[in-house]
Amino acid sequence: MQEFQTFVTHLECSYTGKTYPADQLHGLSEAGKPLLVRYDLDALGKAITKDDLNSRLPEFWRYREFLPVRRSENVVRLGELMTPILPATRIQQELGCGEILIKDEGRLPTGSFKARGLALAVAMAKELGVRRMAMPTNGNAGAALAAYCSRADIETFVFCPEDTPPVNVEEIAFQGAKTFLVNGLINDCGKIVGEGKEAMGWFDTSTLKEPYRIEGKKTMGLELAEQLDWNVPDVILYPTGGGTGLIGMWKAFNELESIRWIGSKRPRMVAVQAEGCAPIVKAFEEGTRHAEPWPDASTIASGIRVPAAIGDFLILDAVRESDGFAVAVSDASINEAHRECAVSEGILLCPEGAATLAALKQELQTGRIKSDEQVVLFNCATGLKYPMQSSHHTIDLTKPIDYDFIRES
């Protein structure tokens, strides 16, 4: 049994600052807000160098000193590689803007960046003796939970709103979670999980209702800074649902500055949402710290169809402190960007990733993104899990082959 070198000191309520002991099972704070993991950053900074990191395998657990797992035996691995950053050169030329970099998170296990959060949440659950986990999901989080829990031999219950993409529902069920399709919305599913805690004895793994998914998603910020040679880009466009990744990256940059691995420059954090579900955008524009639940949420980008985010104030704080903004894009512009990136760059985005490209195009027009800024777009999942707009032709073998038709198609 190998001990990791860890630096966790305590957990802290993100709203009131009240502290909680580490190494115990926690959900939300007493104030009903997310808990954040705190570290002895001085000791961490002395224990590891950039060169140490550089000599390790290009994978998630290279950042273990920045994470709370204490015993290596609790790590559950499915091959969490560092994800590539792909320049979108042709689109950049066409738009006449600064460098566009796409961080392609679709390469992770279960095909989405939910793997980062759940790899860590499941490792911590294992470390703290949890035997049964449950969550409401629009798809990718449930798939990651199912896969990591099956591998860790933890029992799992997953609840999906009835409009969850069928491929997600089946991948969750197929990977061993007890899976339920619910004729309601994600908050109805969340209620089943919350209210069933006592009767079912499960641990509520809902977004931000446990402290560790943020830490897993934090690795996106660590990884991005490392891949850019310990620099941060000018702007990050992040498709924002529950906001775990945006909050996690913001935390990563602050921790990296504390150990003096990066300076005080921060990327401008841009929360991208869909016009049919834009609670954070509305709150940003109205200048409030919390977002009102969005009625009748609807968008093709199911990963960002989150009408109420429990970490709303954390998303809005990061966006405002970074001098960023929140922006909504239409489903039509998401479809257009989806196609454009596939055709011009050979990169098959997910609709949520396409939303960030749509937002970039829109905001270069308004001038909120300047044409000399280096921009990172987050593609959160493999495009292969999603329906694609049909664009093929057909050939009828009962007729002569018409090569003019083929040439001109």
Our CB check for ligand PLP shows the closer of 297 and 381 to be 381
> What's the rounded Cα separation, in Å, for the pair 171 and 201?
24
Our CB check for ligand PLP shows the closer of 98 and 242 to be 242
Query: Least CB distance from residue 186 to ligand PLP, whole Å?
Result: 11
**Residues in contact with ligand PLP by the rule CB under 6 A:** 112, 114, 140, 207, 239-245, 303-304, 350, 352, 380-381
Q: Name residues whose C-beta falls within 8 Å of residue 357's C-beta, 6 or more positions apart in sequence.
A: 88, 91, 337, 340, 341, 349, 377
Our CB check for ligand PLP shows the closer of 161 and 243 to be 243
The alpha carbon of 152 is separated from its chain's Cα centroid by a whole number of angstroms, namely 22
Would you put residue 328 in left (φ > 0), alpha (ψ -120 to 50) or beta?
beta
Query: Least CB distance from residue 84 to ligand PLP, whole Å?
Result: 17
Our CB check for ligand PLP shows the closer of 94 and 162 to be 162
Q: Name residues whose C-beta falls within 8 Å of residue 241's C-beta, 6 or more positions apart in sequence.
A: 138, 207, 303, 304, 305, 306, 309, 352
Sign for the CA dihedral angle at 166, 297, 36, 34 comes to negative
CB-closest chain residue to ligand PLP = 303
Query: Least CB distance from residue 318 to ligand PLP, whole Å?
Result: 12
Our CB check for ligand PLP shows the closer of 34 and 241 to be 241
Our CB check for ligand PLP shows the closer of 41 and 380 to be 380
Query: Least CB distance from residue 314 to ligand PLP, whole Å?
Result: 11
Query: Least CB distance from residue 100 to ligand PLP, whole Å?
Result: 18
The label of the residue with tokens 């940003």 reads 284
Query: Least CB distance from residue 303 to ligand PLP, whole Å?
Result: 3
β-pairing, 203-204 with 132-136?
parallel
